[in-house]
Structure 1
Amino acid sequence: MVLFNRRTRLLMISTLLGIAISPSIGIRVGSQEKPDINPANNATYPVGPPPKRVDPLPDDRDVQEREAETDYRISSLLGDFAGNLWVGSWRGLSQIDPNTGNIIARVSLPNVTIGALAQDKVGRLWVGNYEGLTRVDPRTNEITAQNLLLPSKRVLSLLIDKRGYLWTGTDSGLALISPDQGLIMTTVKNMPGVCVNAMTLDAEGQLWAGTLDGLIRVNTASALIMKRMNNLPGSTVQTLAISPEGLIWAGMPNQLLVVNPKNGIVLRSVTPLRGRNVTSVRFAQDGSVWVGTTNGLLRLNPNTGALLDRVPGLPSSRVLTVVPDLGNKLWVGTSEGLAWLMPTMDKARPHFGFGRSVK
């Protein structure tokens, strides 16, 4: 009790004198030096400039910043029986008047990433996208069938054979579909190359498919493989077209080949396209051939391979699809939008309804 009173008195005296008391049993007297009360000497500041101020973004701006950049590629073009142009893009499906360029309709689809277009014998429009297949009535723009049980939902190519049946190329094989019932009739078994990038019909009505491993000829009646051409230079076939003489033109990542479908012999590699990535081939009414590449659009003499024209003014040099002689124009789908060209024009012009300038 005496010790406690003694400590209490010392604590009161030291408080009055400004002396620090340790809570331990013994008593220590703090330093008598004057404390440094200048806060500038105690704070630590970075050597570099202060960080930039970040203002909070509005809610709608925050959502926009997190959205993926819009893709303006035009992946497929189709001239229909009525003379209109269907534009398949990675933003959806549209119909335009090729004479005026006016947009007639925009079709609402469950998936807007379009890979291929085709029109069957009775005028119905088939749209292949990355979620399957959709059938559209072009008179009402209504969806009448969709999402068939395909080998894969990713549709890369479409073709109507001479009987009116629909062949659907996917990244996992080839399927034959009845357009009326919307049912799969059969699939091509043991298909080499698997990925069906492009299709065309020869003079006998048999189907040629371009895959990752060359060319395959398929009997359209039995769905059996008739011929394999897997020794092509470059192997991957990206686009196909039949010339007026009935020869197959096959666009590949490094060249353009001309193949005789009767015997499967490669006749030649088109000289101006050697080393070029060929993405689209279409023959015009005047007999010339338009060739789209990842580095521009060319017009060639198909007999000699001579370069006739090179098209400037495209939204992008990466050409994906071409439709000539529609509305007295050449229509070009690129990775950055749609363009058109008339015979009297010195360069192509973009269609402002399908490019980056209009969002």
Structure 2
Amino acid sequence: MNQSLQMFVRLNLRSSIVLLSWWIFAAAPLVPISQTSAEDYQPLPTWDFRLYKTPDGDILPRSRDIAEDREGGIWVATWGGGLHYFDRTVWRDFTERDGLPGDWTRCVEVDAKGRVWVGTGDGLARIDRGQVEILSCSEELGVPLDDIYLIERMKDDSIWVSDNRGNLVSFNESETPAWRMVLSATATSGNRINSLATEADGTIWVCLRDQNLLSFDGEEWTPSTPFEGQAWLGVGPRFSEPDSLLCFNNFDTPIYRREGDGWVPFPECGRRVFTIARSPGGDYFAGTDYGVYRFVDGKWNLLYLGREVGRPEVDVLLFAKDGSLWIGTREGLVRGYLPYWTREIGSKRGVGLSTILLSDPDSHTVYGIDSENFLVKKDGADWSRIAPFEVPSDQVVHWTTLRDGAFWMLIDKGGNRFQFDLAKVSVESGQILEREEISDLGPDLRVFQTS
């Protein structure tokens, strides 16, 4: 028996159960009815959201932008804390001491060669194999690039950079000259560019801080007016399929969708939207002043990010290659782990894997239920059985994790709720108890089930 894992948490019937049940199941009614009704509130049991912390246990500062490199490493631009890089167990910080122009970083992007571009309040830098290089195009274009607000990698692999003065320049080292002016501060009337997106047909959209939305068809820039009183607009997703581009106002709730040559109203989520992304499955996700919303079946639904995360103001959303959802907020960095509720064809001595319960992309450890209904663990390439799991996998309809993935809550089709701790898995545990029944399973194990 694996002593590091034992089934079911020891609970104090008179106090712990009451508090824990209130903690988990009272979360949904706390959503303000004026913003999101109980019917709209849809927690995703397949996600496990956690505040991402440094190896010292510190929460990151405001996370303004996030990028993923070719190897799956994550780069985070923080406001006041420099640039952070991590890939599984590897963590590195880049600050002014390492050569950055400053620690107040706003944006980060990875180019086609794997180099990392970072924009700060004091200038532009590029990191290549851990070495920091300060960049400027003042000689070529007369633009110092000393206060960067936006960096985007375009479809042709050029890098577009915008500063606080409203200049938008591009860098493409396959061309001569490499630096080119896209929009000058004169053309933007000195208004900085808040966001940028590209449609499938190649049309590029930029939003100015205090003026109209502009589109570029490859030949000329054209103003567009989806809103009355243009101010603080945003567009997204960054790369949009036909009729999928959304435009939103950072200080109001209306949203518009691009359709043909015009803009049409889109359902509102009732919150100020700061960023829009699209999941690999095609769903819209909105970062707002009140957490993250997902658009499903014609309406926006608030994602439950857990008590630790709460409902922060969101600056950026990134869907990573491993299925994780990274959320940059004004209170720090949040990660949503995936997949948790998927099907996989695997084998353990000819026994197929029925359900994956937990897949940790950092440690590559997987917990699941095999076709003979044993709790199984995959650590590396090998599967091993831990304990019988007498809740049939096809009866499980909902599950979630708390406390850094160690504590589980599981619900079956009969409405029975099971609470257990991965740190306490035992071969003797696993039987389905009658409702309201308390059972001792040894000196260190106790399991409680309620409906």
TM-score (normalised: structure 1): 0.66
1:110 equivalenced with 2:108 (yes/no): no
Equivalent in 314, 317, 335 of residue 319 of structure 1: 314
> Quick check: 1:145–1:182 contact (8 Å CA) kept in 2?
no
| Residue 277 (structure 1) shift | 1.7
Equivalent in 131, 134, 142 of residue 122 of structure 2: 131
- Residues 178 and 152 of structure 1, relative CA distance in 2, 3 Å threshold: closer
Structure 2 match to 1:204: 201
User: For this pair of structures, how many residues does the alignment match?
Assistant: 270
Q: What is the identity, as a one-letter code, of the residue corresponding to 2:86?
A: I
Structure 2 match to 1:237: 233
| Residue 175 (structure 1) shift | 2.2
Measure, in 2, the Cα distance between the counterparts of 1:184 and 1:323.
28
- Residues 325 and 186 of structure 1, relative CA distance in 2, 3 Å threshold: closer
> Quick check: 1:218–1:227 contact (8 Å CA) kept in 2?
no
> Quick check: 2:151–2:159 contact (8 Å CA) kept in 1?
yes
Give deviations 1:16-75, integer Å, cap 9, x for gaps: xxxxxxxxxxxxxxxxxxxxxxxxxxxxxxxxxxxxxxxxxxxxxxxxxxxxxx981001
| Residue 209 (structure 1) shift | 0.6
- Residues 327 and 96 of structure 1, relative CA distance in 2, 3 Å threshold: farther
Secondary structure (helix, strand or coil) at the match of 2:269 reads helix
- Residues 161 and 217 of structure 1, relative CA distance in 2, 3 Å threshold: same
Alignment of 1:68-83 (within 5 A): 72-83=61-72
- Residues 81 and 239 of structure 1, relative CA distance in 2, 3 Å threshold: same
Measure, in 2, the Cα distance between the counterparts of 1:261 and 1:186.
30
Structure 2 match to 1:44: none
| Residue 325 (structure 1) shift | 4.0
Q: What is the identity, as a one-letter code, of the residue corresponding to 1:130?
A: G
| Residue 89 (structure 1) shift | 0.7
1:249 equivalenced with 2:239 (yes/no): no
Measure, in 2, the Cα distance between the counterparts of 1:277 and 1:317.
12
| Residue 167 (structure 1) shift | 1.4
Measure, in 2, the Cα distance between the counterparts of 1:304 and 1:112.
41
Measure, in 2, the Cα distance between the counterparts of 1:315 and 1:143.
36
| Residue 262 (structure 1) shift | 4.4
Secondary structure (helix, strand or coil) at the match of 1:177 reads strand
> Quick check: 1:203–1:246 contact (8 Å CA) kept in 2?
no
Secondary structure (helix, strand or coil) at the match of 1:173 reads coil
| Residue 119 (structure 1) shift | 1.7
Secondary structure (helix, strand or coil) at the match of 2:286 reads strand
Alignment of 1:178-189 (within 5 A): 178-180=171-173, 184-189=179-184
1:228 equivalenced with 2:215 (yes/no): no
Structure 2 match to 1:39: none
**Which entry has the higher C-alpha Rg, 1 or 2?**
1
Secondary structure (helix, strand or coil) at the match of 1:272 reads coil
Work out the percentage of aligned pairs sharing the same amino acid: 18
Measure, in 1, the Cα distance between the counterparts of 2:102 and 2:216.
30
- Residues 230 and 272 of structure 1, relative CA distance in 2, 3 Å threshold: closer
Give deviations 1:94-114, integer Å, cap 9, x for gaps: 2112xx4x3432223231111
1:304 equivalenced with 2:298 (yes/no): yes
Structure 1 match to 2:274: 279
| Residue 151 (structure 1) shift | 6.4
Structure 2 match to 1:218: 216
Alignment of 1:45-124 (within 5 A): 72-90=61-79, 91-97=81-87, 100=88, 102-107=89-94, 108=98, 109-124=100-115
Give ranges in structure 2 of 5+ residues lacking alignment: 1-58, 341-398, 405-451
- Residues 110 and 316 of structure 1, relative CA distance in 2, 3 Å threshold: farther
| Residue 192 (structure 1) shift | 5.3
Q: What is the identity, as a one-letter code, of the residue corresponding to 1:156?
A: Y
Measure, in 1, the Cα distance between the counterparts of 2:259 and 2:104.
33
| Residue 246 (structure 1) shift | 4.6
Q: What is the identity, as a one-letter code, of the residue corresponding to 2:118?
A: V
The structure with higher relative contact order (CA 8 Å, sep 6+) is 2
Q: What is the identity, as a one-letter code, of the residue corresponding to 1:123?
A: G
| Residue 239 (structure 1) shift | 4.8
Structure 1 match to 2:408: none
Secondary structure (helix, strand or coil) at the match of 1:311 reads coil
Give ranges in structure 1 of 5+ residues lacking alignment: 1-69, 351-359
Secondary structure (helix, strand or coil) at the match of 2:108 reads strand
Give deviations 1:125-148, integer Å, cap 9, x for gaps: 1111111211111xx211234244
Secondary structure (helix, strand or coil) at the match of 1:197 reads strand
TM-score (normalised: structure 2): 0.54
> Quick check: 1:156–1:198 contact (8 Å CA) kept in 2?
no
> Quick check: 1:73–1:89 contact (8 Å CA) kept in 2?
yes
Measure, in 1, the Cα distance between the counterparts of 2:203 and 2:123.
25
**Which range moved further: 171-180 or 123-132?**
171-180
- Residues 193 and 207 of structure 1, relative CA distance in 2, 3 Å threshold: farther
